[in-house]
Structure 1
Amino acid sequence: MSVAISIENVVKRFGKETVINGLSLEIKPGEFFTLLGPSGCGKTTLLRMIIGFNSIEGGQIKIDGKVINNIPTNKRNMGMVFQNYAIFPHMSVKDNIAFGLKNRKVPKAEIEKRVDEILKIVKIDHLKDRMPHKMSGGQQQRIALARAIVIHPEVLLMDEPLSNLDAKLRTEMRNAIKQIQQQVGITTVYVTHDQEEALAVSDRIAVMNGGVIQQIDTPKNIYQRPANTFVSTFIGLSNIMDGKLESNENGKALIRIGDYKFQMNNIKKDCGSNCPVKVSVRPEEFIINKETEEGIPVTVKSSVFLGVTTHYFVETKEGQEIEVIQSSDIGEIIPNGKKVHLKVQVQKINVFSEDGSRSFIDREVRP
């Protein structure tokens, strides 16, 4: 049965430095939960606290309501998949996978049954007698995953498991990991700095920075409705522009970027009028206007044709560089030096406070 993980006000110190200070989150039973953030943000530190590799200086970690702070790592019934696989090179595939079961004194017949079952789930049953050095990186990662799951842990922890694979294998393995996790139904905590990877595999994502959670949400909401400018720029590409909230009355707000004004109906009611804001526009949320002067005036500096889409790199009259992505079937490619205007898709863009710390978007209101 899947378990819930409750992390309540945990604190982690290394000497005099506090790297996590009062962090809390709830992970649901059977959930694929990802800790995402830049290097040094605390995500691996938190993962190591869950499994017991790192001590806990404050707060509590609970598994289905049971505090595990002082339970030794080998008594926590968790499976771990490491970045470097940690496969025993002198053992065959089946012996690697059986290692944890043998340590737990599981009967031989049961070991064979469980190893055969997990080999089929991770789709390397035809390789069970092969030695690891004769296998690809993706196959070795499947061994590591099988070894972690075969012991029937309550929780599966994965620390940057795909970072050593090439781009094609990473895509293949992230899909495999998600399918296997859904098939087994195990509560999973996954650490990565790769935004695309996190979006592809997660039920929910916690975006971290400096030991602090910036946002916890579904991949769709993280991408479309980031909580602040850090999340907006860390997840995917965003153009952050200075703007002004000129008025906000009767459910209608008037936003201005330079001389370009547009109306939005999903700005929070408590956001006042006549205040500076940051406007976040993803490259695909612009509309290039070549016919009139409505929009933000820009000059095309360069373009890259990528088949389905064309990426334009433009510059405002103030010198700000902006990236714009348009479908390649929308007219001819605009030449360098051409002056055009950019309109925004108001239902998709995000507006933040001047310091970027909070979103002004009311997610309860449909634009």
Structure 2
Amino acid sequence: MSVAITIDNVVKRFGKDTIINGLSVDVRPGEFFTLLGPSGCGKTTLLRMIIGFNSIEGGTIKIDDQIINDIPTHLRNMGMVFQNYAIFPHMSVKDNVAFGLKNRKVAKEKMNALVDEILETVKIAHLKDRMPTQLSGGQQQRVALARAIVIHPQVLLMDEPLSNLDAKLRVEMRNAIKLIQQKIGITTVYVTHDQEEALAVSDRIAIMNNGIIQQIGTPKEIYQRPNCVFVATFIGLSNILEAKVKITGAAKILDFGAYEVPMDNLIPEISAGSKVLVSVRPEEFEICLKGSDGLTAVVEHSVFLGVTTHYFMRLENGQEIEVVQNSGVEDTIPNKTTVRLLVQPAKINVFTEDGNTPLIVRGNR
């Protein structure tokens, strides 16, 4: 049966430095929950607090209704997969996977059955007699995963488990991890700094920065409706443009200077003359080679990436932006071409001048 994790107002200090100060988050039973953020934001620190490697200076962590703050790590019934795999080089695959079961004094017959079952699940049963030096990086990661979940833990914790793999193996393993997690139904907390990886595997994502959770949501929610400029620019790529709000009767308009965009999804409380920041993802621009409406931009250079072409442009105010267009739309636009750029009002995001507050009605897309 899957469990919930309740993290309530937790505090972590190292000496005089407070790394996490009053953080709260709930992880649902059976959920694949990802902590995503830049290096040093506190995500691994929080993961280590859950498993018991780090002490808790304030607040509580619960598994279902049980507070685990003072429960020793080896009694928390959690499995962990580390960045460097941490598999034993002198043990075969099956002995590595059986390690936790031996420590729990599981009977040999049952232990062998459990090991065989999990090796089939992670698709390395044919490698059970090999030594770690005979395995690829992806195979070693599968061993580490099997070892973590063969003990049937209540919670699976994963700390940057794919960072040591090459690009192709990362994609292969992230898909495998998600499928295995869904099959087993174990509550999982996953740490990464890789945005694409987080989008691919997560049920929900918590974006962290400086020990603070900036936003929690599904991958789609966070990508389409970030709640601050930090999230907008950390998840994927966003061009941040300055604008002012004009109000004419009941109409609200974003004024970019020589280009105005009517908006029907700004919050009612917004006032005329407000300075705002507008987040436009590269694919949310429409390139016009003819016509006088839109932002004026000059193509500096372009990169063809098969399905898409990425244009690097400069606006009239000197700001550099990136625009993505499907490669099949038309021929690549030559460098130094002047174009007009239209934005899609339903897709762009608008924030207060400090970038910390969204001004789009939530749920509107």
When the two structures are superposed, what TM-score results if normalisation uses the length of structure 2?
0.99
- The answer (yes or no) to whether the contact 1:248–1:272 under 8 Å persists in 2 is no
- Aligned equivalents of 2:30 and 2:163: distance in 1? 24
Change (3 A) 1:115 1:249: farther
CA shift digits 1:320-367 (9 cap, x unpaired):
0010001112222111111111100111110000000011111244x5
Amino acid at match of 2:76: R
CA shift at 1:231, angstroms?
Answer: 0.3
Q: Which structure 2 residues correspond to residues 231-310 of structure 1 after superposition, within 5 A?
A: 231-247=231-247, 250=250, 252-310=251-309
Deviation at 1:256, TM superposition (A): 1.2
CA distance in 2, matches of 1:212, 1:249: 40
Task: Tell me the amino acid that sits aligned with residue 39 of structure 1.
Answer: S
| Structure 2 counterpart of 1:229 | 229
Rounded Cα–Cα distance in structure 2 between residues aligned with 1:306 and 1:148: 38
Please name the residue that 1:83 is paired with. 83
Equivalences, count: 365
Deviates more, 1:26-35 or 1:334-343: 334-343
Change (3 A) 1:70 1:105: same
Q: CA deviation at 1:269?
A: 1.2
Residue of structure 2 equivalent to 1:325: 324
**In structure 1, distance between residues paired with 2:97 and 2:267:** 53
Structure 1: gaps spanning 5 or more residues: none
Contact 1:313 1:321 in 2 (8 A): yes
1:149 maps to 149
Residue 92 of structure 2 aligns with which residue?
Answer: 92
Q: How far apart, in 2, do the equivalents of 1:125 and 1:249 lie?
A: 69
- SS of aligned partner of 1:246: strand
Other structure's SS at 1:269 match: coil
Give deviations 1:163-206, integer Å, cap 9, x for gaps.
Answer: 00000000000000000000000000000000000000000000
Counterpart contact for 1:246–1:274, Cα < 8 Å: yes
CA distance in 1, matches of 2:339, 2:158: 47
1:356 corresponds to which residue? Answer: 355
Displacement of 1:249 in angstroms is 6.1
- 1:38 — aligned with what? 38
The one-letter amino acid paired with 2:312 is: F
Partners of 1:38 and 1:249 lie apart in 2 by 43
RMSD of Structure 2 on Structure 1 (CA): 0.9
The aligned residue for residue 118 of structure 2 is: 118
Measured after TM superposition, the shift of residue 274 of structure 1 is 1.4
- Residue pair 1:248, 1:271 contacting (<8 A) in 2 also: no
Distance 1:154 1:181 in 2: 12
Output the CA distance in 2 between the equivalents of 1:118 and 1:312.
Answer: 47
Supply the distance in 2 between the matched residues of 1:212 and 1:109 (Cα, whole angstroms). Answer: 47
Shift of residue 50, structure 1, vs aligned partner: 0.2
- 1 CA distance for matches of 2:13 and 2:317? 45
Are 2:173 and 1:173 equivalent residues in the alignment? yes
1:6-38 Cα distance to aligned partner (Å, 9 max, x none): 000000000000010000000000000000000
Rounded to whole Å, the distance in 1 between the matches of 2:309 and 2:8 is: 46
- Report which stretch shifted further, 241-250 or 25-34: 241-250
**Percent of pairs with identical residues:** 68
- Distance in structure 1 (CA, Å) of the matches to 2:196 and 2:363: 26
Quick check: 54-63 or 258-267, which moved more?
Answer: 258-267
Question: Where in structure 2 are there 5+ consecutive unaligned residues?
Answer: none
CA distance, structure 1, for counterparts of residue 15 and residue 257 of structure 2: 49
Aligned pairs for 1:4-153 within 5 A: 4-153=4-153
The amino acid across from 1:200 in the alignment is A
Distance in 1 (alpha carbons) for counterparts of 2:24 and 2:270: 28
Deviation at 1:268, TM superposition (A): 1.1
Return the alpha-carbon distance in structure 2 between the equivalents of residues 146 and 199 of structure 1. Answer: 23
Give the Cα–Cα distance (whole angstroms) in 2 for the partners of residues 271 and 59 of structure 1. Answer: 37
Q: Secondary structure at the match of 2:322?
A: strand
Q: Distance in 2 between the 1:249 and 1:157 partners?
A: 54
Provide the C-alpha distance between the structure 2 equivalents of 1:47 and 1:301, rounded to a whole number of angstroms: 44
Q: Counterparts of 1:50 and 1:16 in 2: how far apart (Å)?
A: 22
Letter in 1 for 2:47: L
| Rounded Cα–Cα distance in structure 1 between residues aligned with 2:272 and 2:33 | 38
Q: Distance in 1 between matches of 2:249 and 2:211?
A: 38
Please name the residue that 1:215 is paired with.
215
Displacement of 1:248 in angstroms is 7.7
